[in-house]
Structure 1
Amino acid sequence: MLKRATLDTANAETKAAKLEVQKYLVTAPNTPRIVRAELEDVFVNAVKPGQHAEVTLENNDNRVFKARVLRLGDVFGARQRTDDPSVNQDTRIVECVLTLDAPISRLGQRVLVRIFPEDSPSQTDEPSQTARQG
C-alpha cells in the first residue's frame, strides 16, 4: 500500500536534525582480525611491515595476542581526541595496521599495541614502541 506524503520545506532541517539512526545489525567479514593503531611520529621510521608485536586489551592486560605489522599509513594525521590530560593532543600520528594471530572476541575493543624491534630474536624481549588504538 502506498501513501502520499508532502515535504514541509520550512521544517525539513529541524525534522532531519531530530532524526535518530539506530543500528539493527553489525556485520564483520570472515577474515583475520586487524588492529588499527595510532603510531606516533617519532616511531614511524623504526616500524616496518612484518615486525612482530603483541596486543593486550586495555582493560585486561592478562590476555596477550601475537600480532604482526601489516602496513603503515602514508599520511600523518591528528591523534583521536581523548579526555586524558597526560596525552599530548598535538602529536602527529600515522595509522599502523596489524594482523592478529588469534582473534579478539569482540570488535571495537580498546587495545594497547607493543611493537618489537626488527632485530629482536624473540617476541618476549622488551618492546620498543607503544601505540594506542582508539
Structure 2
Amino acid sequence: MRFCRECGLLAPLGSDQVCPRCGAPLPPPVRLRSRRPEPRYLEPEDPPPMTTGQYFLTLVVCGIPVVGLIVLCVWAAGHTILPERCRLARAYLIRRLLTDIVLLLLLWLLRTAWPLLVPTWYYW
C-alpha cells in the first residue's frame, strides 16, 4: 500500500511510480509486517539415561512393603522425568501382580488339600 505524499490518495495496486490524481512520484511500497513473530518450536531434549545407581535406588524403594507399592504406582503412572523408570515400574508391578496371584493360588491349594495330606490320629 502506498499513499501519495502530496494529495494523500491511497494508490491502487496497479499504479506504478506516479500518483494517478496529482502526478507526484509515489514513495516505495511499504511491506506490512505481522505483529506476532513466527513461533519457534524447539525439539524436546531427551533426558539422560538412568545410571546404575538410579536403577539400584529404584529397586531398593520397590522392596519397601507399603511405600514401595505406592511409589511404584506413581512412577508407573508416568510421574517421573525418566521414561526408563516408568517402564521399569510398570514391569515390576506386572511381575509383582503375577507373583501375588501365584502365591495366593498356592496358599488356597494348600489350604484345601491340607486335610488330605495330614493323616488324622483319632484312633489313638
Shorter chain as normaliser: what TM range? under 0.3
TM-score (structure 1 length as normaliser):
0.23
TM-score (structure 2 length as normaliser):
0.24
Whichever structure has more helix as a proportion of its residues is 2
Larger Rg: 2
